[in-house]
Amino acid sequence: MVVKIYTKASKGVPAEAETLKTLSQHGSVINILTYLPNSSALQGGAAFFEYCPEGDLFDLRVVLRKKRVVFSEKSLWPIIGQLSAAIAFLHEGIGCDNPANSDSWHPVIHRDIKPENVFIVSLGQKEDLSSIVIKPGDFGFSAFYDSTNARMPGWAGTTMMWPPEQTWEGHEARPSGDVWAVGCVVHELAHGFPPVVNPDVAEKAWGMENRSLMAPLHLRLEKRATAGQLQAKVEEWHAAFLFEELKAEHEAPRNEEKGTDGEDGQEEGF
C-alpha cells in the first residue's frame, strides 16, 4: 500500500480522501483503503491507497524514450479504454456496483488528469504493452460537480491539459475537461507532446482516420463526446481494431502459401 500524509493545517477530511471514500470501488480507479485523521504519531492525517508498483505513464514514457521505443497502437487502445471507463464511472456512475445508483449519481470530476497522475498497476504479460493495467489517481483537485459553482482555485490544475473552453478568467472545470484531458494523455503518449489547440491543425492531424482521438479532442464543446459516449465509442473501435488484427493474422499464412506456390510454378517452367 501507499501512505499519503496530510499536514495538520488541513481541516477535516481532505477532499481527495472524502471523494474516494464516498465512491464505490471500481476496477479503473485507484482505491483508498482507509483514512486516519490527524494524530501526533502521523503528524497529520493519512490516507492509505492501493500500491501501483510500475510507476506512472510519465515515467514509462521516459523509460521507453531512452530505449528509442514508442507507444504502439496496441498499447494505446487499453490505455484510452481504461481511462474512458474511469471517467464514465466518475461522471455518470457507469460500471458502479449497483446499477440503480447511476440514476441518482452525483458526478465527480478529477480536474487534473495527466500522465503523471495515471498509475500503472501492471505492465501485463505482453511485450507490446497491449495488456497494460492503469488507474487514474491523485484526486487532490477532484470535486463533486456543481454546474452552478464549477470554478477551481486559482492555483489548481495543469493548464497544459485544459480544454479550449477553460480559461484563466473563467477557470471553470467541467466534466468535458476530463474528457479532453484523456485525449491529451493519449495524444502525448503517441506523439510526445499535447495536442495543438488550433482548429486547422487539429482537424487536419486528427480527422476521420483518428476518430477515437477526435471524440475527446473536439474543439467544439457540443461535438465532444461525454465520458459515457467516449467509453462506448472506444469499445466499438477497439473491437474493430482487434478484428482487423485477427483477420490479418489469419490471412498471412494464406498469402505466404500463395507466394510459395507461385515461386514453385516459375521454377517448374524453367
Distance CA 111, CA 153 (A): 11
Q: What is the pLDDT of residue 251?
A: 80
Q: Which helix (H) or strand (E) holds 36?
A: strand 32-39
pLDDT above 90 (res 175): yes
Q: Is pLDDT above 70 for 208?
A: no
Q: Are 84 and 231 in contact (CB under 8 A)?
A: yes
Say whether pLDDT at 170 is over 80.
no
Structure confidence by residue, pLDDT tens digits, 89-122:
999 999 988 776 777 889 999 999 999 999 999 9
pLDDT value of position 29: 94
How does pLDDT run across 26-57, given as a tens digit for each residue? 889 999 998 888 767 777 788 899 999 999 99
Q: Are 217 and 179 in contact (CB under 8 A)?
A: no
Torsion of CA 190, 230, 236, 59, to 10 degrees: 30
pLDDT above 90 (res 14): no
Q: In the prediction, which pLDDT does 267 show?
A: 44
CA triplet 62, 63, 69: central angle to 5 degrees? 95
User: For 245-259, what is each residue's pLDDT tens digit?
Assistant: 888 888 867 666 666
Reported confidence tier of residue 138, pLDDT bands at 50, 70, 90: very high
Share of residues in the chain with pLDDT > 90 (%) = 39
What domains, with CATH codes, occur in the chain? 52-243 (1.10.510.10)
Task: Write down the pLDDT at residue 245.
Answer: 86
Mean pLDDT, range 182-192, rounded to an integer:
89
Reported confidence tier of residue 182, pLDDT bands at 50, 70, 90: very high
Q: pTM score, two decimals? A: 0.85
Q: What is the pLDDT of residue 96?
A: 87
58, with CB counted inside 10 A (0-12, 13-18, 19+), is: middle
